[in-house]
Structure 1
Amino acid sequence: MELAINNGKTLSVSDAVFGREFSQDLVHQVVVAYRNAGRAGTKAQKTRSEVSGTTKKSKKQKGGGARHGALTAPIFVGGGVTFAAKPRSFAQKVNRKMYRAAISAILSELNRQGRITVVENFDVDAPKTSGLVSKLKDLNVGQRPLIVTEEASESLYLSARNLPYVEVRDVQGLDPVALVGADSVVITSQAVKKIEEWLA
Structure 2
Amino acid sequence: MDLQIVYIATVVICFFVSLLNQKHNEPYFKVFTFLLFVIIVVETSGYTINKVLKSDNQFLFHIYGPIEYTCIAYIYSSTFKNRIAKKITLFSIFIFIIFSAFSSLYLQTFTDTPYNFLLRCLLIIGLSLFYFYELYLKDEIIILTKLPMFWISVGNFFFYAGNFFLMGLIDTLERMHSDLVKPLFNINTILNIFLYVMFIVGFLCKRR
TM category, shorter: under 0.3
Which protein is richer in helix relative to its size?
2
Q: What TM-score comes out, normalization by structure 2 length?
A: 0.26
Q: Which has the larger radius of gyration?
A: 1
TM norm structure 1:
0.27
Say which structure is richer in strand.
1
